[in-house]
Structure 1
Amino acid sequence: MRLWHEQLIKYLPRQQLLGQHRECCALRGNGWEKPHATVNYIFNYSVTHLFAYHCLVMDEMKKRGYTVTEEWASPSYRGKNCEPIDLTNFDKDTLKKMEFLIKSGHIYEEHDERYMEECLENLRNKGIYIHF
């Protein structure tokens, strides 16, 4: 389980991009706050950060012509087997921040240069070389 560095999303091969979508769906659903060493840092943030990250993934999928279940476009949706998130407690500032995160493409502080290199190395070990 891994969230690729935000800047890599548009370069990911099909398999990794679709896998990232599945990871985001799982994390937004029953996987929220279930420990996993590779992604534990996301639980230090509001679920809105994960939604913003997932939006980047879904936007790239749509650009490539893949179909995305429309329910995932709602920040409250958590999958068929989970209760939706109650957004009534989210103030306008939180929702504006979520929109800003989506537009900025820099969602997690941990996604720094060191993490970028770690992700690139992980991809190289899979035989995937990304140059940008």
Structure 2
Amino acid sequence: MRLWHVDLIEYLPKGQLLSQWRELNSIFAKEDQHILINYIYDYPKDDLYVYTEKVMEEMKKRGYQIRTYEKMNRYFDGLGPVKDRKPFQQHHDKEYLEICFYNLKEKYIRGQKDYAEEMYQQLCIYVNDVL
């Protein structure tokens, strides 16, 4: 279980992006505990909401259908207005960006079928500019 660095959402292959939505729904339903996501519970729910919005925006941009918002709506019920900002600031730093990049790089090198070369090259350009 992993929440990818927020800045890499647009560079995720289809499999990772769709898995991100499943993982978010698992958090919404059970507040899953896992070593790679436990940090989210140290932040206000606003951060997870902003992150979720970014995942949904990317899914819609690619034409992927979101069938239900039920778990998400229940999880965020009562949450007031949320300002758009970079979520999980202390965790989604340059080091985490690099960790996520190398994870995605390995998927590309190993031949993940839904990871187009163009998307991988865009990822490399972005990461090289930031790091």
Given the two structures, how large is their TM-score scaled by the length of structure 1?
0.74
**Residues 9, 17 of structure 1: 8 Å contact kept:** yes
Q: CA deviation at 1:48?
A: 2.8
1:66 matched residue in structure 2: 64
**2: distance between equivalents of 1:6 and 1:59?**
12
**1: distance between equivalents of 2:67 and 2:51?**
16
Gaps of at least 5 residues in structure 2 are 110-119, 127-131
Gaps of at least 5 residues in structure 1 are 79-84
> Structure 2 counterpart of 1:127, which letter?
Y
**1: distance between equivalents of 2:10 and 2:100?**
14
**Residues 28, 50 of structure 1: 8 Å contact kept:** no
2:39 matched residue in structure 1: 41
2:101 matched residue in structure 1: 120
Indicate yes or no: 2:80 matched with 1:111: no
More helix as a share of residues = 2
Provide the aligned length of Structure 1 versus Structure 2.
112
Percent of aligned positions that are identical: 38
**2: distance between equivalents of 1:86 and 1:10?**
27
RMSD (Å), alpha carbons: 2.0
**Residues 9, 57 of structure 1: 8 Å contact kept:** yes
1:51 matched residue in structure 2: 49
Q: CA deviation at 1:68?
A: 1.1
**Residues 61, 67 of structure 1: 8 Å contact kept:** yes
**2: distance between equivalents of 1:69 and 1:49?**
23
> Structure 1 counterpart of 2:40, which letter?
I
2:14 matched residue in structure 1: 14
**2: distance between equivalents of 1:6 and 1:75?**
18
1:76 matched residue in structure 2: 73
Q: CA deviation at 1:52?
A: 1.7
Given the two structures, how large is their TM-score scaled by the length of structure 2?
0.75
Q: CA deviation at 1:47?
A: 2.5
**2: distance between equivalents of 1:77 and 1:60?**
22
